[in-house]
Amino acid sequence: MVDHIAGVRAPPGSAPAGRPSRGPWLRELAATWALGLPLAGSQLAWMGLAVTDVVVMGWYSPETLAAGGLGANYFFMPYVFGLGVVSAVSPLIAQRLGEGGRGHVRAVRRAVRQGLWVAIALAIPAMLLCLAAGPAFRAMGQEPAVATDAGLYVLAAMPGLLPAFAIAALRGFMASLSRGRPVLLVSLAALPANAVLDYGLVFGAWGLPELGVVGAGLASTAVEYAMLAALVALVLVDRQFRRYAIFGRFWRADWQMFGQLLRIGVPIGITLLLEVGIFSAGAFLMGFFGVTALAAHQIAVQCAAVTFMIPYGLSQATTVRVGLFAGRRDAAGALRAGKAGAASALAVMAVMAVMFWLAGGPIASLFLDLSEPGSPAVAEMAAAYLAIAAVFQIVDGAQVAANGALRGLKDTAVPMAIVAVGYWVIAFPLALYLGFELDLRGEGLWWALAAGLAVAAVTLTARFLFRMRRLTALWSSAARAAAA
């Protein structure tokens, strides 16, 4: 459907101008899932890349796995921050497409071009931080051999930061055009490629050099560049993407758009760091309760991370949907898109919660050889954590959906503060109190995480509803003034 006045495509799922809308909620849910499922699939595929690295390094040797895991945790911090910052491309484009008008093609080109500029600018300090990995590990008192290998892994993975950030900009561009499938297909193709390269470079198979932990880092870097090349080629040949000519006059600076991307994106990057940080802190605290508790915690976190990818993909779709309606100043549509995203995320997480509650033991057993000494105790404790994670799932789905809706309104600074309070002012001190003072140990830590997420979920949802009430009044007033 085409808006003949604006000359651009209307948000998918909206009714043509002047015609009555039939089943707007069903259409909005369908549009959210149509875009969200490919994005969720690409997130799951991305997680599969990391899992493949872990499996191959574990096959090679426990020492390699330890070094690779240590290096990956360090590398992940600048990686996730950069992805968060560059993800600001999506709401900027979505709102501009919603506005329509003659200049929308140029505006989209500006946003994507400067998103790529931001990707380059962020990659430079991120790589400098990676150069300090080895000395940092040694300063933290890590075993010298492990510190050296972990530092080498980070150095090998380091060049992959640039394509990873650029991929995030192109993914935001494609998602804003409601084209999530190309990203999914490229991500799925990367899985077997990464597995083959991992095995070949780590073990020295098929004539490749045996590089151990360095091979895993190099494989990841090579796959990132291959994914970027595939997406760039698609942008250049696909008719819908090509019309925006995003690489035209790429050297031209646009500092206004560059600054806008940073204003919106930096709070998103910090929000992701706060979330990653609270789980890292949880693992650190869990270590005080022994190896069994730490192993059980890692199983529960891994399960929660996998299930989280689906509502996270839906939240990215919600950002686009809310942004499209916000650009058109359609308050009813934006509110409906936010609620549809929340309903979708909660429905998914309700199913996952029931699964964790009823099948926690069998799920935990998938990660273990129960014939090994100590494994049954780990499985039993992991099942207890997964039962608490059932509650955790619901509030996690609610907070990620609300955050996605707020990003569609380009509202990122206040949500960052809300997450900081929920995770670090509430969850972390509560974890110390429940885990150590009340001696609830690992279960206390999980209840504290759930409580912090619940506070964030309720507050972020209230923030979205509050913003929509204000915007509804503002846009209605502006429309009446224009009509007069």
Q: Are residue 379 and residue 321 in the same domain, yes or no?
A: yes
Q: Are residue 310 and residue 233 in the same domain, yes or no?
A: no
Q: Are residue 188 and residue 158 in the same domain, yes or no?
A: yes
Domain assignment of residue 262, yes or no: no
Domain stops at, among 226, 253, 280: 253
**CA distance linking residue 248 with residue 235, whole number of Å:** 12
**CA distance linking residue 441 with residue 391, whole number of Å:** 18
Domain stops at, among 227, 253, 279: 253
Domain assignment of residue 458, yes or no: yes
pLDDT of residue 20: 45
Domain assignment of residue 397, yes or no: yes
Q: Do the Cβ atoms of 197 and 157 come closer than 8 Å?
A: no
Q: Are residue 149 and residue 294 in the same domain, yes or no?
A: no
Domain assignment of residue 114, yes or no: yes
The total number of structural domains that make up the chain: 2
pLDDT of residue 163: 94
- Does residue 412 sit in helix, strand or coil? coil
**CA distance linking residue 39 with residue 175, whole number of Å:** 8
Number of helices and strands in the chain (H, E): 17, 2
Q: Are residue 321 and residue 410 in the same domain, yes or no?
A: yes
Domain assignment of residue 365, yes or no: yes
β-bridge mates for residue 2, sequence order: 9
Domain assignment of residue 15, yes or no: no
Q: Are residue 183 and residue 276 in the same domain, yes or no?
A: no
Q: Are residue 306 and residue 238 in the same domain, yes or no?
A: no
pLDDT of residue 413: 93
**CA distance linking residue 158 with residue 249, whole number of Å:** 28
**CA distance linking residue 387 with residue 358, whole number of Å:** 8
What is each CA distance from 463 to 149, 201, 314, 469, 473, in whole angstroms?
A: 45, 49, 19, 10, 16
- Nearest Cα to Cα of residue 291 among 171, 359, 372, 215: 372
Radius of gyration for the alpha carbons in the chain, expressed in angstroms and rounded: 23
Structure tokens that stand for 208 in this block: 């490749």
Q: Are residue 404 and residue 442 in the same domain, yes or no?
A: yes
Q: Are residue 237 and residue 337 in the same domain, yes or no?
A: no
pLDDT of residue 10: 47
- Nearest Cα to Cα of residue 173 among 223, 101, 251, 119: 119
**CA distance linking residue 265 with residue 91, whole number of Å:** 10
pLDDT of residue 22: 52
pLDDT of residue 364: 82
Domain assignment of residue 271, yes or no: yes
- Domain holding 170, by residue range, is 34-253
pLDDT of residue 135: 86
Between strands 8-9 and 2-3, the pairing is antiparallel
- The tally of CA atoms less than 13 A away on the side-chain side of residue 193 is 18
Per-10-residue mean pLDDT for the chain, 484 residues long? 37 46 80 88 83 76 74 85 91 83 78 92 92 84 79 90 92 86 89 90 86 87 93 91 83 86 93 86 80 80 85 92 91 93 94 90 77 78 89 90 94 94 94 91 90 94 94 84 72
| Amino acid in the structure at residue 345 | A
Domain stops at, among 253, 275, 294: 253
Q: Are residue 229 and residue 318 in the same domain, yes or no?
A: no
Q: Are residue 241 and residue 311 in the same domain, yes or no?
A: no
Cβ-based neighbours of 481, under 8 Å, separated by 6 or more:
none
Beta strands in 142-257 (DSSP E): none
What is each CA distance from 266 to 86, 118, 130, 406, 428, in whole angstroms?
A: 8, 11, 20, 15, 23
Q: Do the Cβ atoms of 52 and 128 come closer than 8 Å?
A: no
DSSP for 429-470, written as a single string: HHHHIIIIIS--HHHHHHHHHHHHHHHHHHHHHHHHHHHHHH
Q: Are residue 187 and residue 287 in the same domain, yes or no?
A: no
pTM for the predicted model, two decimal places: 0.85
Structure tokens that stand for 380 in this block: 């039993």
pLDDT of residue 432: 93
Domain assignment of residue 127, yes or no: yes
